[in-house]
Amino acid sequence: MESMLNKLKSTVTKVTADVTSAVMGNPVTREFEVGRHIASGGPGLSWRIYNGTKKSTKQEVAVFVFDKKMIDKYQKFEKDQIIDSLKRGVQQLTRLRHPRLLTVQHPLEESRDCLAFCTEPVFASLSNVLGQWDNLPSPVPSDIKEYKLYDVETKYGLLQISEGLSFLHSGVKMVHGNLCPENIILNKSGAWKIMGFDFSISSNNPSDAEPKYTCKEWQPNLPPLCLPNPEYLAPEYILSVSCDAASDMYSLGVVMHAVFNEGKPVFQVNKHDIFKSFSRQLDQLSSMSPAVLSKIPEEVREHVKMLLSVTPNVRPDADQMTKIPFFDDVGAVTLQYFDSLFQRDNLQKSQFYKGLPKVLPKLPKRVVVYRILPALTSEFVNPDMVPFVLPNVLLIAEECTKDEYVRLILPDLTPVFKQQEPIQASNMILLIFLQKMDLLLTKTPPDDIKNSVLPMVYRALEAPSVQIQELSLNIIPTFANLIDYPSMKNSLIPRIKSACLQTSSLAVRVNSLVCLGKILEYLDKWFVIDEILPFLQQIPSREPAVLMGILGIYKCTFNHKKLGIPKEHLATKSLPHLVSLSIDNNLNLNQFNSFMMVIRDMLSRMETEHKTKLEQLHIMQEQQRSMNISNPLNQAEESKSPPNSGNQIDDIFGGTGVNGKENGSAAPVSQPSRVSLTLEEKQRLAKEQEQAAKLRNQQPLAPQTIKAATAGSNSQTKDLTSSLLSNMTSMSMANTARPAPVQGSTMSTFPSSGPMVGSMGTSVSNGFNPAMGFQAGGMGMGMRPTGPSLYSGMATTTSTPNFGSLTQNQGTTGQTNKPPDMSALDNLFTSNKPKVTLNQIGPKAPSGTSSPWLGQFNSPQNPQTQMQGVPVGMGGVAGGFGMQANPFFSPQNFAQPAAAPSMNPSGIKHSASVNNDLKDLFG
């Protein structure tokens, strides 16, 4: 590890030293920071190219540096010639201004050790890209080493060079004199620029139609840096010492050949015998072999052959070359249009930007990102053009990596997020951003999302345009998972609620509810219960779409496994609200059925949860009583006190004695010894004591009989029926007088009015006489039914005593010769035949319905009105849609009516199982 650090340190130190030594003392360093060595270019690749920035503006530049140490081997006069030639080239470039020429940002500066000047940001020279790596840093930068030209780059690059030559030849009447890959620079955007005007020749008579150029004779004794590159020179330059614009066109032909031929020119030149080489070259050009141009694309091959013609007049001029079909490529034309945008008006620009999305997918990513994107983002300064440019920028952003997006696109987008003027353009910008919100939230860093993106979303929700509000509400659920919870809770939800309440547009209101329904899963349970559900009751309108939206939110919350509505909220707030909405006159049958399905589901679950709670509470109470019964301390205390069977029954039945009186009023009976019993034994004992209570209500027993019936000493497992039979026989044989009725109990003198249905379906005498004026509604007053789970499912009938059998048997009092009356057992094991019909007590119940619920808890009324709309749900039976179904993503889940249950001819629904009994009763 230490060796690697040392190596890295030495490398950095060496690079820093190289840069420092290269520009030390040069005035360029006063205004510019010089970075790393990135490329080389110019005549003989003698200029080292560094990246840099301007200190005052932080503007990016390229710094060209010529190190004078490179020419130490030459004599002083040769050094001076080289320096003068290089200076002349830079000075000429500085005077010329054209988009196809390299732009100089700072003129040439000379110091003792180097020459330096600054230009627009540069990537590399064409020579570097084609594989010539002289004067490059070691190792060669990977971006240059792996760089491959795309066809569109090659076509448009050659077109740019042709346009640059056209400017030189026609505009300033100048011959470049040394056009070669070394003097073609690729800037950071990928555009090809011309430099290296060291050997340029200006016209002697620039005002004349036919310019004349004076060419210098080739001097082979001069240093190579003082001569143009002979491999790209026209033959007439050497052989006849003449040149004109056609000479540059020959050089262009050789450049085109090199671009398509891995950087190799048409001919290799022997620099030691230049005249002989050119003479041989002249012969080869006169009869050029087709193999020489085999790698050049066929559509431009003929034009290259004409450029390489021995006769200058045959060569196409620069203006003609810009119009050849080879350059009519859609990509090249697009790039060319971008370079001339400054000449277009807003209408032309807008038309071009509208069609650009069709072209961008056809272009290489590098060309789009580094060539087209900067031109697009430069248009952001024109607010009217932003709506036309922005879709293309976001389309490019989709193809960029997150790092490229943050580095190249986001800085230019940040001001656009906040743009609010002009209003029409601002609205269009909001629409475009909302449609690409998933892209923005995926690639934008969290801090920028919070500071720039989400405020724009909030602004869209508050926009005066209904269309923007609708679109924002439709799009928000698609990226809700990317919004942090505090922002959603404190900023987004309140604005959605405000949009719903304050709008006058039904579409916005409905979309607000749909949006809330879709993002419920990203909220927590108590926020929904405390903020969302109360908000639903504030919505003023009652259109069917709004009502169904409210129902959907209730349904989603109720069924979602993470959310859910507590039964207390169901009973006090949700169900009353839904029931009131369900009878709205605007709802059709299907919508009403949807409401009733949700209401039934809620009632069913509420019933199941509360019943489970009560059953658990009852079991805990019974367990506590069992512990009290089996407590040895209680057993010792009760053995000292007088036995009282009424107290024992009170412990079991909850405070009512065997004779129907309150605690302490029953006749004393012996107290059975208490032992620890199992649950099954306790259940059976409870049943036996219940049946014994019935028997006592039907037949007066002797005190010793009661004592025997309730005794529980060591023979608790005796058969109850045998014991009762023997007691009844002994009572009859004893011929004892029946005790008089209990004083103060008027109810004991009246016969039973008819059978009464108990919780388990058995007939129980009610003990009331209609002659006393009791009405049917009073039957429930003396009843105290217990839950169905009491004593493991055994339902007790009533705590009110039954005196019917006592009054019926009063006529037999005092008779000793009659056989034993066994009617008490009949009453115990079979239902009593009613002597008075229910019609005499109250209204006739509808046929086929003999529900104890109707008899005990409901006042008599028309059965149709009584049954209508009562929700049913037993044992948590699932109804409606699944736990995770969201009606806002599939509205048919709650909008379709429930299938009508089948009916038998008598009008009663068929029950599929025992669990659906109550459902059958209540419809």
- pLDDT, position 438: 83
Grouping H, G, I as helix, E, B as strand and the rest as coil, residue 76 is: helix
Band (pLDDT 50/70/90 cuts) for residue 138 is confident
Q: Are strands 32-41 and 47-54 parallel, antiparallel or unpaired?
A: antiparallel
For 619-667, what is each residue's pLDDT tens digit? Answer: 998 888 888 876 655 554 544 444 444 444 344 444 444 333 344 333 3
- pLDDT, position 393: 94
User: Under a CB-based contact definition with an 8 Å cutoff, are residues 32 and 63 in contact?
Assistant: yes
pLDDT at 779 over 90: no
The token duo for 813 is 């009092």
Question: Of the spans 243-247, 705-709, 756-760, which averages the highest pLDDT?
Answer: 243-247
Which strand (E) or helix (H) includes residue 119? strand 114-119
Beta carbons within 8 Å of 571's beta carbon, 6+ residues apart: 606
Q: Give dist(CA 750, CA 860) in Å, integer.
A: 24
For 791-810, what is each residue's pLDDT tens digit? Answer: 333 333 333 444 344 334 44
Give the pLDDT mean for 704-719.
42
| Lowest model confidence (mean pLDDT) among 38-42, 422-426, 789-793 | 789-793
Pick the closest to residue 38 from 143, 109, 193 (CA basis).
Answer: 143
The token duo for 101 is 């020429």
Percent of the chain with pLDDT over 90: 28
Q: Please name the amino acid found at residue 763.
A: S
Bond preceding residue 387 cis, omega within 30 of 0: no
Q: Please name the amino acid found at residue 456.
A: M
The token duo for 62 is 């390229």
- pLDDT, position 80: 92
Q: Give dist(CA 821, CA 827) in Å, integer.
A: 12
Question: Of the spans 44-58, 524-538, 772-786, 864-878, which averages the highest pLDDT?
Answer: 44-58
Band (pLDDT 50/70/90 cuts) for residue 22 is low
Which strand (E) or helix (H) includes residue 663? none
Question: Of the spans 173-187, 434-448, 456-470, 899-913, which averages the highest pLDDT?
Answer: 173-187
For 353-395, what is each residue's pLDDT tens digit? Answer: 999 999 999 899 989 998 899 889 988 888 888 999 999 999 9
- pLDDT, position 162: 95
For 240-299, what is each residue's pLDDT tens digit? Answer: 888 999 999 999 999 999 999 988 898 888 777 888 888 888 888 888 888 888 899 999
For 69-119, what is each residue's pLDDT tens digit? Answer: 999 988 999 999 999 999 999 999 999 999 999 999 999 999 999 999 999
Q: Give dist(CA 700, CA 659) in Å, integer.
A: 10
Which strand (E) or helix (H) includes residue 124? strand 122-125
Band (pLDDT 50/70/90 cuts) for residue 3 is low
Q: How does the average pLDDT of the chain come out, rounded?
A: 74
Q: Give dist(CA 561, CA 566) in Å, integer.
A: 12
Q: Pick the residue with more confidence: 414 or 878?
A: 414
Percent of the chain with pLDDT over 70: 67
Q: Pick the residue with more confidence: 734 or 616?
A: 616
Please report how many Cα atoms fall inside a 13 Å half-sphere around the Cα of residue 303, on the Cβ side.
22
Q: Give dist(CA 309, CA 286) in Å, integer.
A: 7
- pLDDT, position 437: 83
pLDDT at 234 over 80: yes
Band (pLDDT 50/70/90 cuts) for residue 125 is very high
For 545-598, what is each residue's pLDDT tens digit? Answer: 999 989 988 988 888 888 888 888 888 888 999 898 888 888 899 989 999 999
The token duo for 121 is 């940001």
pLDDT at 520 over 60: yes
pLDDT at 859 over 70: no
Q: Please name the amino acid found at residue 598.
A: V
Which strand (E) or helix (H) includes residue 553? helix 544-559
Band (pLDDT 50/70/90 cuts) for residue 460 is confident
Q: Give dist(CA 234, CA 309) in Å, integer.
A: 10
b vs e for 138-160, b when ≥16 Cβ sit within 10 Å of the residue's Cβ?
A: eeebeebeebebbebbbbbbbbb
| Lowest model confidence (mean pLDDT) among 325-339, 429-443, 508-522, 667-681 | 667-681
Please report how many Cα atoms fall inside a 13 Å half-sphere around the Cα of residue 568, on the Cβ side.
2
Give the pLDDT mean for 62-70.
94
- pLDDT, position 697: 64
For 797-850, what is each residue's pLDDT tens digit? Answer: 333 444 344 334 444 334 434 444 544 434 434 444 444 443 443 444 444 434
Band (pLDDT 50/70/90 cuts) for residue 64 is very high
The token duo for 463 is 């926009």
